[in-house]
Amino acid sequence: MARKPLTNPRKQASQARSRVTVDALVDATARILVRDGYDKASTNRIADMAGVSIGSLYQYYPSKEALVAAVIDRHNRQIMRRVRTVLTEIASLPIERAVRRLVAFAIEAHRIDPRLHRVLAEQIPRVGRLENVEALNREGYALFRDYLESRRDELRVRDLDLAAFVCATSIEALTHSAVLYHTEMLRDAEALIEETTRFISGYLQPTSV
């Protein structure tokens, strides 16, 4: 079951001029994915929108999948940078406040570019970037697990790995679903944040109320 299509860049751009080209290509790929979807995102069209010839495209990326992978990787790097920042910020906060901050962050993050987020979420599996994404997910769990570890004696949960999985997966699903499919909920985002916080911290803490 050998994976044929190479999804890694072909060569590094070394001069400033070509770095512009590469950026334009990745940007154009993202824009077309959002505007037209994966099927309509042909390499010719991407090159066109980037204002670059098809030949140049293939200088840097061996396939359409490689371009999509580049968009995914870039997006994930941005998200993970934010995630790390937030998790550092909450390190010293008590559980409920920490959870509230995390939930608010998750909503913000989904709101940045919901349509790109959605298209990428859909395309990740077929571009073989699942492993990378899973790796980042696991990093996220691990970071949150560390936080839980530091508050262990305030928790009622036993298995911290499991708890981190439960919390992270739920927060992501709830915010994802609310932002993408139930936008009416965001009219009162406070209520959503409040309820989710109660949900999660009620699970973690012995009995808050």
Partner DNA sequence: GTGGAAGGCGAGCTATCGCTCATACCCTAT
Partner DNA sequence: ATAGGGTATGAGCGATAGCTCGCCTTCCAC
**Rule CB under 7 A: is residue 18 a binding residue for DNA?**
yes
For residue 53 the two structure tokens come to 């010839």
Q: Which amino acid is it at 166? A: V
**Rule CB under 8 A: is residue 149 a binding residue for a second copy?**
no
Q: How far apart are CA 185 and CA 97, in angstroms?
A: 22
Q: How far is the CB of 200 from DNA (least distance, A)?
A: 42
Nearest to a second copy of 50, 192 (CB atom): 192
**Residue 56 binds which entry of a second copy, DNA, none, CB below 5-8 Å type-dependent:** DNA
Q: How far apart are CA 55 and CA 72, in angstroms?
A: 23
Q: How far is the CB of 76 from DNA (least distance, A)?
A: 22
Residues 33-72 that bind a second copy (CB under 8 A): 37-39
Interaction pattern, residues 106-135, with a second copy; x per rule: CB under 8 A: ------------x---x--xx---x---x-
Interaction pattern, residues 22-61, with DNA; x per rule: CB under 7 A: ------------------xxxxxx------xxxxx-xx--
Q: How far apart are the first and last CA of the chain?
A: 54
Query: How many residues in the shown chain lie near DNA by CB under 7 A?
Result: 26
In the list 20, 91, 135, 162, the residue contacting a second copy (rule: CB under 8 A) is 162
Q: What is the DSSP letter of 40?
A: T
Angle at 48 between CA 10 and CA 41, to 5 degrees: 75
Instruction: Tell which phi-psi region holds residue 37, choosing left (phi > 0), alpha (psi between -120 and 50) or beta.
Output: left
**Rule CB under 8 A: is residue 173 a binding residue for a second copy?**
yes
Helices 64-89 and 43-50 sit at what angle, rounded to 10 degrees? 60
